[in-house]
Amino acid sequence: MFLVNYIKDVLSGIKSLATGMKVTGWYALHHRKEKITQQYPDNKDTLVLPERFRGEVVMPHDEHNEHACTGCTACELACPNATIKIVTKFDIQPDGKKKKAIDKFVYHLELCTFCNLCIEACPTDAIKMAQTFEHSVFDRTNLTKILNKPGSKIREGIE
C-alpha cells in the first residue's frame, strides 16, 4: 500500500509539473501574439489603457459648468489618508433659504493611493477616476488640485 501511494505521489507530481511547463511553454511559443507589454513612450499616441485604470480623481462638469457634488463629505470621510478636503459655503437661494454647497473641493494628488474608496462612497457620482497618469511636476504644490472649476455650481435636481 505504501509503495502504491509512493508511486502515485511521484506520478501526480510529474503530471502537475508537466502541466505548469505546458502553460509557460505555450506562452514562450506564442509570445508575439499574447504579449501584454506596451512600449510606452513610443506609442504615446496609440496608448490603450484598461478601462478600470485609476490615474487621478476628477470631477466632471457639463457644458453649463455644472457639477453633481452636494458637498456631503462622504468622500472625505471615506478617504483613508486625508487626500480630500471639502470646504463648504452657504448659497442664498432665490426664495431666501440658505443651501449648503461646495466652495472648494481640494484634492491632494501627492497623498492619494488611488484606492477608489471616494468614488465608491459618492452618492451622486460627482467624482470619478481619470486615466491620466503623467503626473510628474517640479514643485510639490502643483499636485494640490481644486477639482471644482471656478464659477461652477451644482446641477439642478441633485440633492
Partner 1 sequence: MPSLENIANNIHQWLNNNFGAPWPMLIEFAIVGLCIIGLFAMLGLVLIMMERKVSAWMQLRLGPNRVGPVGMFQTAADTLKLIVKEGMTPAGADKFLFNLAPFIVMIIAMVIMAPLMFAKGLQMWDVNIGVLFFTAISSVSVIGILMAGWASNNKYSLLGAMRSGAQIVSYELSAGFAILAIVILTGDLKISTIVNSQADGWWIFKGHLPIWIAFVIFMIAVTAETNRAPFDLAEAESELTAGFHTEYSGMKFALFFLAEYVNIFVVCALGATLFLGGWQPLHFGTDTQFNQWMDYIPSSLWFMGKTFFLIFVIMWFRWTFPRLRIDQLLNLEWKYLLPISMINLLLVTLMAIMGWHF
| Residues near partner 1 (CB under 8 A) | 10, 17, 20-21, 23-25, 27-28, 31, 34-37, 39
User: Closest distance between partner 1 and the C-beta of residue 4, in Å?
Assistant: 15
User: Closest distance between partner 1 and the C-beta of residue 135, in Å?
Assistant: 24
Closest to partner 1 by CB, 27 vs 90, is 27
Instruction: Evaluate whether 133 touches 94 at the Cβ level (below 8 Å).
Output: no
Closest to partner 1 by CB, 9 vs 91, is 9
User: Closest distance between partner 1 and the C-beta of residue 55, in Å?
Assistant: 22
Distances in whole angstroms, Cα of residue 118 to Cα of each of 51, 61, 93: 18, 18, 28
φ/ψ bin of 151: left (φ > 0), alpha (ψ from -120 to 50), beta (otherwise): left
Closest to partner 1 by CB, 31 vs 100, is 31
Closest to partner 1 by CB, 40 vs 53, is 40
Neighbour count for residue 108 (Cβ, 10 Å)? 17
The SS3 assignment for 108 reads strand
The SS3 assignment for 128 reads strand
φ/ψ bin of 25: left (φ > 0), alpha (ψ from -120 to 50), beta (otherwise): alpha
User: Closest distance between partner 1 and the C-beta of residue 44, in Å?
Assistant: 17
